[in-house]
Structure 1
Amino acid sequence: MARPLPATPLIALDAVVLDLETTGLDVRSARIVQVGAVRLSEGHAAEDGALSLLVDPGEPIPPASTAIHGVGNDAVAGAPGPSEALAQIAAFAGERIVIGHTIGFDLAVLKAESARAGAPWKRPRSLDTRVLAQVANPDLPGFGMEVIAGWLGVRLRDRHSAIGDALTTADLFLALIPHLRDRGIRTLAEAEAACKRLADAAAAQPGGWEEPVVAPRAERERGLARIDSYPYRHRIADVMTSPVLFGEAAMPLVQAARQMADQRISSLILPDEGEGYGIVTERDVLRAIARDGAAALDRPVGAIATRPLRTVPAEAFIYRAVGRMNRLKVRHLGVRDEAGALVGAISARDLLRLRATEAISLGDAIDDARNVAALAAAWARLPAVAESLVAEDVDARAIAGVISRELGAATRQAAVLAEAKLRQEGLGDPPVPYALLVLGSAGRGESLLALDQDNAIVFAEGEPDGPEDRYFARLGAEIADALHAIAVPYCKGGVMARNPAWRGSLATWHGRVASWLERSRPEDLLSVDIFFDLRAVHGESGLAHRLLADAQEGARGSLAFLKLLAEAGGKIHSPFGLFGALRTEDGRLDLKMSGLFPVVTAARILAIRHGIAERSTPRRLEGLRKRQVGAGADLERLVAAHAVLLKRVLAQQIEDIHDGVPPSNKVKVKALGRAEQSELKDALAAIGQVPHIVRDLMF
């Protein structure tokens, strides 16, 4: 079983919920008389296979204790002793997180029993529902199991029996998750940090208290697997060598084989005949000949084709193709451009130097998630992959590209799950073709680990609040809820397809963009800028392509709009204080507001103004330089500064995730070395010139 990941959303936690009944409440003398444990996986308690065990403590059970839990001396006669009970608990729990109500008491008892038995003791990582309830609702009159269950509407199960209390605790934990999420406690590490408050309760507990443990730094470093960074630094378009060779389904097999041999390629694509493109590979040809002999050569190639052809985007990273081939057990994939057109093919031969490690399979684990909890479990791998890439000294811009692609993939899979849910509810399939869009940093390929949702929907036709719009409103709400559940929070600014302003038909969107171009106040354009970073992640990408192209063309011709867009971004607040020192708040500096936001906004506006159809900030700035718009040295400094800021923010976010601190864009300046601080100051100084550059290059 894999080691628990700190970024695992609570809904996806693989855990054991444990409860002990004992001879007393003083851990120095309390002995186990009953064990109850149930496994928790993908948001459900597995009642089948639960551990329910009576234990002979080796001494009389006090009548006062029996009066509470009902376990007397006769009940435990002939039951296994503490040593066997400890072994069964260890085997049942493995390396899973242990959850309990006042779990510190149970852990202290287990430690004492281990000492008596001469058995090794290792504190498990643990969560306490009592403390989590206090975090989720500090105004409760008390934090006993009955009070918390009453607040959450959870039914008590056979109270004061070990298995009954374990099952009740499992229900409490699952019911607490949405309340914790509302308090900013979304992941295992964040919940562990909250549970450190158990230490404050130690003095109130008779006989001691076993504090919870989180993964120490040494364990984190040992668990940081080396990773082949090549598939994360290169895109499919970089290695795609197989051109698209089309053939007719009626073509004799011998002719298809001859074409593949002449072109020195290993596959032939057949046209879409209603079931998607087909593919015939050299292996298919050999199998047909082996099965039917020479007669196979005269048969139509369409008879042995596989449909539909599985595809990947040309701009996807290589690890995506490796993982997909591994999961689907195929050796060829079609490659599509941004508009959805088939532009090539990629084969296992092209990727021979790569292997489908667990990390590389990250993307397909997201694509294959069958429910929200499975999606959350797959999503939890992302920070670990990012951390491994940082350790391999991969450029932060490439890592941001990986994070962005997986955020897009998670958004797409949330839509797939939402569509399935609406079908189950009798609402049917989407009434018209549509495209689900990601905006902002996800669209630009510059997302880091402090994520929220920025998404939109464009559909082929339909009026506001019409039947089509109502369907997509519901779909957008389901998508938003699923992403929120996997620890991608709701957008605080409301930029989500569930809100009317961020969904609509193509005609509605055209009208919306036209109204933006006519605005006269910068405050009327808040959040509009990220629209111009849009990227389709699901559905009919052609709708998104048309919408963005038309919007860019309209905006390019409106200097007044672009100036308002620049003003809407606000003024750059200098991060420098007296004598050039960096000004911080609580020891941290917000590098998004002080640096990333100004350079991203400037690159976006200037790219629109000069007709540069790129999304990422570096490519937009490079596009300006290639067109000799402005001073090349100034633009190169901005590109370099952007990379420095991404690197610093990403490193801080990884550290915060391990510490159970919600990741943000605020960096601990004093934790940086002298060279790092100097590099950061140079980057921020370069970005301080952005207003002058924008003014010079706008016209």
Structure 2
Amino acid sequence: MPNLLQATPLFAVRGVALDAETTGLDVRRARMIEFAAVHLDGGRLDRANAFQSLVACDVEIPAASRAVHGLDREALRGAPAFEVLYPGIMAFLAGRVVIGHTIGFDIAMLTKEAERLGQRFVQPLALDIRLLAQLAEPGLPSYSLEALGAWLEIAPQERHRALGDAMAAGLIFLALAPRLRDRGIRTVGEAVAASRRITDAMAGAAPPAWELRPPAQDGDPLPKLDSYPYRHRVRDVMRADPVILPEETPVAAALAAMTGRGVSSVFLGGEGAGPEATAILTERDLLRAIGRHGAEALALPAGRFASRPVVAVPADAFLYRAIGRMSARNIRHLAVTDDEDRIVGVVTPLKLLQLRAGTAVALGDDIDAAPDAPALGQIWSRLPLMARALLAEDVPARLIAAVIAREVGALTRRAAILAEAELVAEGAGPAPCAYAVLVLGSAGRGESLLAMDQDNALVFAEGEPEGEADRWFARLGRRMAAILDEVGVPLCKGGVMASEPAFRGSLATWRQRIAQWLGRSSPEDLLSVDIVFDFKAVHGDKAMAERLWRDAWAAAKGQIPFLKLLAENAGQPAAGLTLFGGLRTEDDGRIDLKRTGLKDIVTTARLLALHHGLPRHATQARLEAVAELGAGGASDLAEIDRDHALLLDCILSQQLADIAEGLSPSNRVAPGTIGKARTAALKQALGRLSILDDLRRDQLSG
């Protein structure tokens, strides 16, 4: 598996742009006479801390070379030898993607100079801006450093000197990143793979010694995971029915409540209040109060010694979220909230003694603390590696999809917070009213895989379409979408984003919108409407969003004409099997399992749950609820549920394999990579799709 750097978005890469000046171009004989490198962090070039040095040389510098860089033996007098510089160079490059123009030459020179010292230079992950420019703009007449600088309007640096060329290469790389993203090349791994395709097609065009070798493969990028926190949710370990007292409660009464209930903390605030309006008083707070005030503390209000606001985690979050949050905040008590953001429980270390907060566990809280988009991009690059580690621990793909969906929600929330901060900084002011950011589709259902795009929406308390509030939220939606796109969640091609008027509106606008949907007579009027019923709030006024979601489900219950239109709008699945029962693959030997099966299962489960008024988010929960109602054949629904899990497993495994090869993840699976047993099971699953059509027809025949 390639290392963590390969999953990093290009704009957020921890890189180092470098250049070497030499006595000639034949790496077998040439010597390095100047070296410079500059770090790239967070989309910026760290010019102030660049590494630059002349290098002592004991051979004659040819006149042709002197004419290029202007360096002669006199200029090198007193310069340190490469042997002296080498440790510093290696430290400066460590853990970074190496970037340069015709970078293969510079790496070859470093390799040769290291060999002269008896050292082995291990080729780092490297990107050649000459090749990246060809990918970004194939029709340029020249890809020289000068030509690229002119094309991208980058002011020339000190040409043919190491620091000037290194800085130019770094600036050009940063300018290429968004252009490459527009062409579907988002990560370092994808850029490496795409560059390799160019070099393969141009075999022999460059001296063999300059050619970049494929990057070395690492071992496991993450420590071995305890999968328990990824299999269980906070509600499984929380203590329910927490003690909630008024803030003016005397300390003595709070202490008595703790002792009587056998708990180590109480919450202070109103019943049904959220974390922002609640404080927490722990045993340690009581000890500090008594230590400071003696017996007099017992008569003082408990709120005087409490901590606020309370740190909380949703009840349906996975345990790794709770562990990471407690570790990051260094706290011992974590409030637990329901879908309407009310405190319903508490988690303490006693419940989590055997669970550690390691690299993977901390992913969620790292997202919550990211200061900007580049930092978000670096954190987001860890997601595929976490998914791979969980799959290696035999965590079911459906649970991994739920973990990914939680992180999509966290990422969307952080993007919204950063976007709002930018609006305030620009003078637009804070949000004009309460609002909630929603994730739709697979993220709302808790079924996200790694080939994702944006599906989000906005609901706000009040305001007319195109009114002042709507215009503010339109700006928020556009900036939020841009941040997510930069980080690695592409814009939705269908426009299902809060930046679009159709997926943004006040509570009243959304209610009117839903009523209009129910009265439509054409499936074309309901494009992308189905996934709205999957929505889940990830930021803001979650209680308002929860009410809207439940009201939408209540309104759709039993609305057979509307549900039939939704079914018609979803269309028939593409044929997954050939006439003789084989997997029907496309020209590239792959089969799109979303088009041929997954989408149909998700659609059917949603339609049946809507028809019977069973508000659930996950496909599995919807199928189980329909089965419990006796509204479908229990055995048929159980088979559909197993097929859903199988399709997710096949797709996720292929996505991880593709990412490892520098390919963009998709829903298309190569049957030869999933093994004979899963291939056989997949054929059976696709052959059962007729059950779905029968279920829809039987239940929506009214």
Residues 85 and 26 of structure 1: CA distance in aligned 2, closer, same or farther (over 3 Å):
same
Q: Which amino acid aligns with 2:353?
A: L
CA distance in 2, matches of 1:35, 1:512: 63
Per-residue Cα deviation, 1:474-519 (whole angstroms, up to 9, x for no partner): 0000000000001100001000010111101111111111221121
CA distance in 2, matches of 1:522, 1:201: 50
Aligned to 2:613: 611
Q: What are the within-5 Å matches in structure 2 for residues 274-673 of structure 1? A: 276-585=277-586, 586-673=588-675
Shift in Å, 1:293: 2.5
Q: Which moved more, 1:476-485 or 1:119-128?
A: 119-128
1:271 to 266, 269, 272: 269
CA distance in 1, matches of 2:247, 2:470: 40
Give the alignment's TM-score, normalised by structure 1: 0.97
Q: Which amino acid aligns with 1:223?
A: P
Shift in Å, 1:33: 0.7
Shift in Å, 1:228: 0.8
> What SS does structure 2 have at the residue aligned with 1:40?
strand
Shift in Å, 1:202: 5.7
CA distance in 2, matches of 1:5, 1:318: 27
Q: Which amino acid aligns with 1:621?
A: L
CA distance in 1, matches of 2:285, 2:687: 60
CA contact (8 A) 1:101 1:169 kept: yes
Aligned to 1:182: 182
Shift in Å, 1:242: 4.8
Aligned to 2:257: 259
Per-residue Cα deviation, 1:176-205 (whole angstroms, up to 9, x for no partner): 110000011101110111221335556233
Q: Which runs of 4+ in 1 moved over 4 A?
A: 199-202, 272-275
CA distance in 2, matches of 1:575, 1:101: 46
CA distance in 2, matches of 1:80, 1:396: 55
Aligned to 1:72: 72
> What SS does structure 2 have at the residue aligned with 1:481?
helix
CA contact (8 A) 1:27 1:207 kept: no
Q: Which amino acid aligns with 1:269?
A: F
Q: Which amino acid aligns with 2:623?
A: L
Give the alignment's TM-score, normalised by structure 2: 0.97
> What SS does structure 2 have at the residue aligned with 1:226?
coil
> What SS does structure 2 have at the residue aligned with 1:447?
coil
1:241 to 239, 242, 257: 239
Q: Which moved more, 1:256-265 or 1:573-582?
A: 573-582
Q: Which amino acid aligns with 1:645?
A: L
CA distance in 1, matches of 2:44, 2:506: 39
Q: Which moved more, 1:186-195 or 1:465-474?
A: 186-195
Q: Which amino acid aligns with 2:519?
A: E
Shift in Å, 1:295: 2.5
Residues 605 and 242 of structure 1: CA distance in aligned 2, closer, same or farther (over 3 Å):
closer
Aligned to 2:112: 112
CA contact (8 A) 1:124 1:213 kept: no
CA contact (8 A) 2:435 2:461 kept: yes
CA contact (8 A) 1:450 1:663 kept: yes
1:687 to 686, 689, 692: 689
> What SS does structure 2 have at the residue aligned with 1:496?
coil
Q: Which moved more, 1:305-314 or 1:291-300?
A: 291-300
Paired residue total: 695
Q: Which runs of 5+ in 1 are unaligned?
A: none
Shift in Å, 1:281: 0.5
> What SS does structure 2 have at the residue aligned with 1:597?
helix
Per-residue Cα deviation, 1:89-124 (whole angstroms, up to 9, x for no partner): 112111321111110111111122222222212111
CA contact (8 A) 1:641 1:687 kept: no
Per-residue Cα deviation, 1:322-365 (whole angstroms, up to 9, x for no partner): 11111111111111111122211112222222111111000001
CA contact (8 A) 1:327 1:364 kept: yes
Shift in Å, 1:160: 1.2
Aligned to 2:229: 231
Residue 103 of structure 2 corresponds to residue 86 of structure 1: no
Q: Which amino acid aligns with 2:691?
A: Q
Q: Which amino acid aligns with 1:603?
A: A
> What SS does structure 2 have at the residue aligned with 1:153?
coil
Shift in Å, 1:682: 1.6
CA distance in 2, matches of 1:394, 1:177: 35
CA distance in 1, matches of 2:147, 2:518: 56
> What SS does structure 1 have at the residue aligned with 2:354?
coil
Q: Which runs of 5+ in 2 are unaligned?
A: none
CA contact (8 A) 2:5 2:96 kept: no
Per-residue Cα deviation, 1:56-81 (whole angstroms, up to 9, x for no partner): 12212122212211222111112122
Aligned to 2:165: 165
Per-residue Cα deviation, 1:509-532 (whole angstroms, up to 9, x for no partner): 111112211211112211110000
CA distance in 2, matches of 1:284, 1:591: 55
Per-residue Cα deviation, 1:251-278 (whole angstroms, up to 9, x for no partner): 2212111110100111111116996200
> What SS does structure 1 have at the residue aligned with 2:525?
helix
Q: Which amino acid aligns with 1:631?
A: G
Per-residue Cα deviation, 1:187-238 (whole angstroms, up to 9, x for no partner): 111011122133555623347313143243xx2x443531011111111111
CA distance in 2, matches of 1:681, 1:133: 43
Q: What are the within-5 Å matches in structure 2 for residues 183-202 of structure 1? A: 183-196=183-196, 197-201=198-202
CA distance in 2, matches of 1:346, 1:42: 35
CA distance in 1, matches of 2:54, 2:550: 70
Q: Which amino acid aligns with 1:587?
A: G
Q: Which amino acid aligns with 1:104?
A: G
CA contact (8 A) 1:21 1:34 kept: yes
CA distance in 1, matches of 2:204, 2:155: 31
CA distance in 1, matches of 2:629, 2:428: 51
CA distance in 2, matches of 1:113, 1:455: 53
Q: What are the within-5 Å matches in structure 2 for residues 28-39 of structure 1? A: 28-39=28-39
Shift in Å, 1:290: 2.5
> What SS does structure 2 have at the residue aligned with 1:73?
coil
Aligned to 1:54: 54
CA distance in 2, matches of 1:365, 1:155: 36
CA distance in 1, matches of 2:597, 2:656: 20
CA distance in 2, matches of 1:647, 1:40: 37
CA contact (8 A) 1:39 1:50 kept: yes
CA distance in 2, matches of 1:583, 1:199: 31
CA contact (8 A) 2:441 2:534 kept: yes
Per-residue Cα deviation, 1:564-613 (whole angstroms, up to 9, x for no partner): 00000101222111321111011100000111000000000110000111
> What SS does structure 1 have at the residue aligned with 2:45?
strand
CA contact (8 A) 1:42 1:373 kept: yes
CA distance in 1, matches of 2:203, 2:50: 30
